[in-house]
């Protein structure tokens, strides 16, 4: 078990190393999800800025999950490191975990800065932070599976870059993650609830006391995120292969 | 000692493409075994099956006594692969690549540093250790990929067109390295399109065509079986620049002597051209091309 964790750690570090070796790029990437917060902070009230900060943390996790697709694609089809690692004692689970956490390693500085800002900007409870991280991690797991399914299916570098970017707009910037669900017209709100990032953001905002939700919506939110992760896990297991069929 | 054994191996991809059909051979310890064939002949498919990266659909294959399908975990710690068209991560140095592959393969940090230095020195990469891979020549990048495979000190090394894109000196340094490895007991299976490479390196070779065995044997046998002998080229006499050179295929020593005597008498340049593997390959695979075109 210890050796498997070590393998995963080094695979993750190796995958993240190009960014870790370039601090300027690291700053840009780790703070990418937080840029809209600055505009909301300048042009809206403090409560909206808090909502957007929580939304940014949720999205940082979801983007790193989605962009696992690039790691999967490039390691398999471009560098062909996956083939080299299959022919070694490295386990497929270590490889999958390693590629998944490499994005988190890169995003960690931004998340830590955001959490520090949250703690400084108002009353935050430890349980609020734990539940915010729990919803974000559950969403991240589901989107890592999406990333693996995309990365394993994509056959060219152009698509490997464009598909996660299009999905990040559709799942990050359009739905009510940075802004409150109530700002959407009533007719659009049920459609927004089809997107997993909306559920994660709603839960996280609730646990920080920024919005009120009935108990039934809390249950639906968690069930949706769990179901999404399970479904995407099944999809990824059908698409991503360690040994080609 | 038999290191690789393949019996009636076949592979049909999920889409229905038949890549291999009934291929059988074995490789002995310390051999360099070359796989030759046209593009799409099934070489990479065969190599990937033996390297436990692809599942066969027919027949059996074993490496180091373990079945590739039933027991791949027993094979993997003892092998390494240089995949076709593998390339380094351009924003990392050669040192980073090799060190991390050592660490991923389970070596301690001290062992990994020592092994990295040794492999880089052996492959002439040490002086380039801190450059970015993007600043390396094509040959050095390829050597880096080979070095990454070498960190495990594999018993069996699979190389898929390892010298493609290398300059003549780069190719020779890879050949030298492969010979050194076999001297230490490693067994090598490599695919190549360079027939001079196969001619120099191969202890045995397999020519696959349309997924089937077209030839299995030594280089000498390939030349012998196809009946390709020595060719003698007699250049036109001086002052007769428009005439084409004569290409002769002497069948006996007497005929060779007669040609040489004629060259001396007529003051014509005589060149001996030994039979090449390329000619044998074209004759072996060419038959199928002719059938294909009719």
Whether residue A79 lies within 8 A of chain B, CB to CB, comes out as: yes
Q: Is B92–A17 a contact, with Cβ atoms under 8 angstroms apart?
A: yes
Closest-approach residue (CA) in chain A for B147: A84
Report residue A68 as tokens. 């696992």
Q: Is B152–A88 a contact, with Cβ atoms under 8 angstroms apart?
A: yes
Q: How far is CA A29 from the centre of its chain?
A: 13
On the question of pLDDT at B35 being above 90, the answer is yes
Task: Quote the minimal CA–CA distance from B113 to chain A in Å.
Answer: 14
Ramachandran area for residue B18 (φ above 0: left; ψ -120 to 50: alpha; else beta): beta
* pLDDT tens sequence across B98-128: 999 999 999 999 999 999 999 999 888 999 9
Residue with tokens 């065509």: B209
On the question of pLDDT at A27 being above 90, the answer is no
- Check if the beta carbon of residue B163 is closer than 8 Å to that of residue B145: no
Can you tell me the distance from the alpha carbon of B189 to that of B81, in angstroms, rounded to the nearest whole number? 10
On the question of pLDDT at B289 being above 60, the answer is no
**How many alpha carbons lie under 13 Å from residue B38 in its C-beta half-sphere?**
13
Q: What is the mean pLDDT of residues A81-86?
A: 95
**Which candidate in A88, A91, A95, A102 is best for mutational testing of the B interface (most B CBs within 10 A)?**
A88
Can you tell me the distance from the alpha carbon of B253 to that of B259, in angstroms, rounded to the nearest whole number? 10
- DSSP character at residue B132: -
Model confidence at B288, pLDDT cuts 50, 70, 90, reads low
Q: Which of B14, B72, B87 sits opposite A79 (nearest CB)?
A: B87
Q: Is B100–A245 a contact, with Cβ atoms under 8 angstroms apart?
A: no
Chain A hits for B149, CB-CB cut-off 8 Å, are 84
Q: What is the mean pLDDT of residues A143-157?
A: 91
**Which candidate in B55, B95, B104, B148 is best for mutational testing of the A interface (most A CBs within 10 A)?**
B104
Q: Is A84–B79 a contact, with Cβ atoms under 8 angstroms apart?
A: no
Report residue A126 as tokens. 């430890």
In chain B, the percentage of residues whose pLDDT exceeds 90 is 59
> What 3 state SS string does chain A have?
CHHHHHHHHHHHHHHHHHHHCCHHHHHHHHHHHHHHHHHHHHHCCHHHHHHHHHHHHHHHHHHHHHCHHHHHHHHHHHCCHHHHHHCCCCCHHHHHHHHHHHHHHHHHHHHHHHHHHHHHHCCCCHHHHHHHHHHHHHHHHHHHHHHHHHHHHCCCHHHHHHHHHHHHHHHHHCCCCCCCHHHCCCCCHHHHCCCHHHHHHHHHHHHCCCCCCCHHHHHHHHHHHHHHHHHHHHHHHHHCCCCEC
Q: What is the mean pLDDT of residues B20-24?
A: 93
Q: How far is CA A129 from the centre of its chain?
A: 17
- Check if the beta carbon of residue B31 is closer than 8 Å to that of residue B186: no
- Tell me the three state secondary structure of residue B278: helix
Given this model, what pLDDT does residue A25 score?
81
Taking CB atoms and an 8 Å cut-off, how many pairs form between chains A and B? Answer: 87
Report residue A88 as tokens. 């070694």
- Check if the beta carbon of residue A13 is closer than 8 Å to that of residue B96: no
Chain A hits for B16, CB-CB cut-off 8 Å, are none
Chain A hits for B92, CB-CB cut-off 8 Å, are 17-18, 21
Chain A hits for B14, CB-CB cut-off 8 Å, are 245
Alpha carbon separation from B208 to A64, B36, B55, B213 (Å, rounded): 44, 6, 19, 5
**Residues, chain A, total?**
245
Q: How far is CA B264 from the centre of its chain?
A: 41
Chain B hits for A239, CB-CB cut-off 8 Å, are none
End-to-end CA distance of chain A: 27
Task: Quote the minimal CA–CA distance from B68 to chain A in Å.
Answer: 11
Q: Say what angle helices A92-121 and A126-153 make with each other, to 10 degrees.
A: 140
Q: Is A83–B53 a contact, with Cβ atoms under 8 angstroms apart?
A: yes
Q: Is A243–B81 a contact, with Cβ atoms under 8 angstroms apart?
A: no
Chain B hits for A10, CB-CB cut-off 8 Å, are 100, 103-104
Can you tell me the distance from the alpha carbon of B12 to that of A82, in angstroms, rounded to the nearest whole number? 22
Decide the pairing of beta strands B18-28 and B2-12.
antiparallel
According to the per-residue pLDDT averaged within each range, which of A23-37, A40-54, B61-75 is highest? B61-75
Report residue A65 as tokens. 């999950």
- Tell me the three state secondary structure of residue B20: strand
**Count of beta carbons in the 10 Å neighbourhood of residue A103:** 28
Closest-approach residue (CA) in chain A for B53: A243
Given this model, what pLDDT does residue B76 score?
96
Q: What is the mean pLDDT of residues B70-80?
A: 95
Calculate the average pLDDT of chain B: 89
Whether residue A21 lies within 8 A of chain B, CB to CB, comes out as: yes
Given this model, what pLDDT does residue B139 score?
83
DSSP character string of B190-240: EE-S-HHHHHHH-SEEEEEETTEEEEEE-HHHHHHHTT---EEEEPPPTT-
Q: What is the mean pLDDT of residues B129-148?
A: 92
Can you tell me the distance from the alpha carbon of B158 to that of B189, in angstroms, rounded to the nearest whole number? 5
- Tell me the three state secondary structure of residue B189: strand
On the question of pLDDT at B72 being above 80, the answer is yes
- b/e per residue, A186-219, with b = 16+ CB within 10 A? eeeeeebbebbbbbbbbbbbbbbebbeeeeeeee
ipTM: 0.87
Task: Quote the minimal CA–CA distance from B184 to chain A in Å.
Answer: 20
Report residue B267 as tokens. 């003051």
Whether residue A2 lies within 8 A of chain B, CB to CB, comes out as: no
Task: Quote the minimal CA–CA distance from A93 to chain B in Å.
Answer: 13
| Chain B: residues touching A (Cβ < 8 Å) | 14, 48, 51-55, 72-73, 76-77, 79-89, 91-92, 96, 100-101, 103-106, 148-149, 152, 158
Q: What is the mean pLDDT of residues B193-217?
A: 92
Considering only CA atoms, which of B195, B191, B97 is closest in space to residue B151? B97
- Tell me the three state secondary structure of residue B149: helix
Q: Is A245–B96 a contact, with Cβ atoms under 8 angstroms apart?
A: no
Can you tell me the distance from the alpha carbon of A78 to that of A76, in angstroms, rounded to the nearest whole number? 6
Q: What is the mean pLDDT of residues B211-240?
A: 82
Decide the pairing of beta strands B79-82 and B156-160.
parallel
On the question of pLDDT at A104 being above 80, the answer is yes
Report residue A96 as tokens. 């999958």
Chain B hits for A78, CB-CB cut-off 8 Å, are 87
Q: Is B86–A79 a contact, with Cβ atoms under 8 angstroms apart?
A: yes
Burial-class residue B265 by CB neighbours within 10 Å (0-12, 13-18, 19+).
Answer: exposed
Whether residue A236 lies within 8 A of chain B, CB to CB, comes out as: no
Q: What is the mean pLDDT of residues B215-229?
A: 82
Q: Which of B14, B52, B86 sits opposite A245 (nearest CB)?
A: B14
Whether residue A106 lies within 8 A of chain B, CB to CB, comes out as: no
On the question of pLDDT at B292 being above 80, the answer is no
Model confidence at A121, pLDDT cuts 50, 70, 90, reads confident
Considering only CA atoms, which of B216, B221, B278 is closest in space to residue B27? B216
Q: Which of A18, A78, A244 sits opposite B54 (nearest CB)?
A: A244
Can you tell me the distance from the alpha carbon of B169 to that of B214, in angstroms, rounded to the nearest whole number? 31
Q: Which of B96, B103, B148 sits opposite A84 (nearest CB)?
A: B148
């Amino acid at each position: 078990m210890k050796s498997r964790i070590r393998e995963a750690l080094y695979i993750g570090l190796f995958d993240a190393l190009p960014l870790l070796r370039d601090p300027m790029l690291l700053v840009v990437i780790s703070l990418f999800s937080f840029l809209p917060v600055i505009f909301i902070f300048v042009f809206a009230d403090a409560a909206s800025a808090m909502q957007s900060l929580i939304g940014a943390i949720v999205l940082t996790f979801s983007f790193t999950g989605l962009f696992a697709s690039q790691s999967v694609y490039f390691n398999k089809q471009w560098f062909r490191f996956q083939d080299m690692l299959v022919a070694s004692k490295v386990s497929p689970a270590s490889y999958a975990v390693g590629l998944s956490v490499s994005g988190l390693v890169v995003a960690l500085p931004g998340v830590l800065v955001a959490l520090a800002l949250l703690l400084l900007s108002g009353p935050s409870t430890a349980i609020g932070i734990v539940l915010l991280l729990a919803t974000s991690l559950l969403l991240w797991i589901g989107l890592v599976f999406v990333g693996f399914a995309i990365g394993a299916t994509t056959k060219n570098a152009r698509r490997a870059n464009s598909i996660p970017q299009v999905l990040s707009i559709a799942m990050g910037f359009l739905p009510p993650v940075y802004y409150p669900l109530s700002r959407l017209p009533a007719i659009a709100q049920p459609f927004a609830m089809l997107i997993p990032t909306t559920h994660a953001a709603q839960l996280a905002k609730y646990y920080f006391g920024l919005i009120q939700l009935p108990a039934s919506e809390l249950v639906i939110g968690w069930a949706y995120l769990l179901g999404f992760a399970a479904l995407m896990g099944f999809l990824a297991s059908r698409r991503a292969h360690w040994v080609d069929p | 000692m038999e290191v690789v054994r393949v019996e009636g191996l076949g592979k049909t991809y999920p889409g229905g493409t038949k890549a291999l059909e009934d291929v059988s051979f074995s490789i002995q310890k310390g051999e360099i075994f070359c796989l030759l064939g046209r593009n799409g002949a099934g070489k990479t498919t065969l190599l990937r099956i033996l390297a436990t990266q692809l599942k066969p659909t027919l027949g059996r294959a074993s490496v180091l006594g373990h079945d590739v399908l039933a027991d791949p975990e027993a094979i993997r710690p003892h092998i390494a692969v240089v995949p076709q068209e593998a390339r380094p991560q351009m924003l990392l140095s050669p040192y980073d690549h090799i060190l991390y592959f050592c660490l991923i393969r389970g070596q301690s940090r001290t062992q990994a540093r020592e092994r990295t230095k040794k492999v880089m020195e052996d492959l002439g990469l040490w002086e380039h250790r801190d450059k970015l891979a993007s600043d390396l020549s094509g040959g050095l990048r390829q050597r880096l990929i080979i070095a990454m495979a070498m960190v495990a000190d594999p018993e069996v090394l699979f190389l898929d067109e390892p010298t493609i894109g290398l300059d003549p000196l780069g190719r020779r340094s890879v050949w030298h390295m492969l010979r050194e490895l076999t001297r230490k007991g490693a067994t090598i299976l490599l695919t190549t399109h360079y027939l001079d490479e196969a001619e120099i390196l191969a202890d045995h070779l397999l020519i696959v065509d349309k997924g089937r065995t077209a030839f299995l044997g030594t280089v000498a046998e390939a030349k012998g079986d196809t009946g390709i002998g020595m060719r003698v080229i007699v250049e036109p006499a001086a002052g007769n620049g428009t005439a084409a050179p004569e290409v002769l295929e002497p069948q006996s020593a007497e005929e060779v002597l007669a040609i040489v005597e004629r060259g001396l008498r007529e003051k014509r340049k005589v060149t001996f051209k030994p039979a090449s593997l390329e000619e044998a390959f074209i004759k072996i695979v060419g038959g199928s091309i002719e059938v294909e075109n009719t």
